[in-house]
Structure formats: structure tokens, C-alpha cells
A = this chain, B = another copy of it.
Amino acid sequence: MHLFEKTVSSEMIFDGKIITVKKDKAELENGEIVNRELVVHPGGVCIVPVNEKGEILMVKQFRYPFGEALLEIPAGKLEFGEDHREAGLRELREETGAVCEKFEYLGVCYPSVAYLTEKIHMYLATGLSFENQDLDDDEFLDVLKIKFEDVLKMIMDGEIPDAKTQCAVLKAARILGK
């Protein structure tokens, strides 16, 4: 069978709070057996919230792997099996205080297809009104409102490296004709 691999064995390496790591052996289409390192993640959801002034609500938070604060759209991790639409509405509310009239699906992106099972679902939120932000005790982030066009320029200029933000904002821009 062409473009297919068969799992031969699977060894659990690490069962963490966020990720599970496995070391599998897979049989290739030529019969060769190779190692496949695998990171299992429950997936996430991200939201492009656009207010009536045409601004995107962005969040800035420290990102441990890079040792610095990054500018991103609001997002969160799913619990295994959780509905991504419900999770998206919850994360939007918790991180920015916003609720929305319209919540359009922008599709899904797979961040790193060679070894990571994570899928991030993307939404466009409009018709925003505001309630209280509701962060966890160990969650620190700033909310910034930035014009859609300026976010696009920052993405094109390399000032917003986060992949989900690039995917979701660039898709939203095509839908909104920006």
C-alpha cells in the first residue's frame, strides 16, 4: 500500500499533564521498520475576536519555550473529547471578557504534522459585548486591542510568530476582504 505505515509496537515514555510521549515502531511500505517519536496532545482552539471598531483582541503572555512574552489571539487547550466550539466561547470569555453574537468556524490547523497529534480549531468572533475577564490564578496575560490591518502588517513583517495566529488571522482576512 502506497503512502502508508503500520504501527508495529508502541512504548509509553511520558504521561504528563499536557502531553503524552510515545516511542512507536512502524513498518514502512518497503517493509523497513523505523522508530516514530510521537507527542499526543488533546488539541486546542483559538479565536479571532473582532470588535465594532475593526480591532482584534489580542493577548500577550509569557511563553516558556521561548523565554519571552508573545502576542497571540486568545486560545486554550481542549480537554480530551471536549467540544471545540464550546471551549472556544469559554476561552474567549475567560481571557478577554468578551461574549459574541456570531462565532464562525475557520477550520483546523495541525501545528506539527511529523510527530505531534495536536489539532487547533479556529474561530472568528464578531458582535462582541463585554463581561468580566475570568483568568485562572496561575494565568497572567494582558489584553491588547490592535487594528486588524495592523495585526496583518505585524504578521507579514514577522512580529507575530505564533502559527495559529498567522493561520486564523490570514484566513479571516480573506473572508472579510482585508
Q: Is the CB of B161 within 8 A of A164?
A: no
Give chain A interface residues in 89-144, CB to chain B under 8 Å: 107-120, 137-138, 140-142
Give chain A interface residues in 35-71, CB to chain B under 8 Å: 35-41, 60-66, 69-70
Give chain A interface residues in 1-21, CB to chain B under 8 Å: 2-5, 13-14, 16-19, 21
Contacts A112-B112, A113-B70, A113-B72 given; indicate if A24 touches B64 (C-beta within 8 A): yes
Total copies of this chain within the assembly: 2
Q: Is the CB of B170 within 8 A of A32?
A: no
CB of A147 within 8 Å of the partner chain? no
Report the bound CA distance from A111 to B115 in whole Å: 12
Number of residues in A with C-beta < 8 Å to the partner? 71
CB of A82 within 8 Å of the partner chain? no
Contacts A34-B138, A158-B108, A161-B107 given; indicate if A115 touches B65 (C-beta within 8 A): yes
CB of A146 within 8 Å of the partner chain? no
Q: Is the CB of A140 within 8 A of B60?
A: no
Q: Closest Cβ of chain B: how far from A129's Cβ, in Å?
A: 27
Known contacts A18-B37, A30-B138, A112-B163; 5 further A-B pairs (Cβ under 8 A): A4-B62, A13-B21, A30-B140, A107-B161, A156-B171
Q: Is the CB of B39 within 8 A of A64?
A: no
Q: Is the CB of A114 within 8 A of B63?
A: yes
Question: Which residues of B lie under 8 Å from residue A116 when comparing CB positions?
Answer: 39, 65, 111-112, 116
Contacts A3-B69, A19-B37 given; indicate if A174 touches B170 (C-beta within 8 A): yes
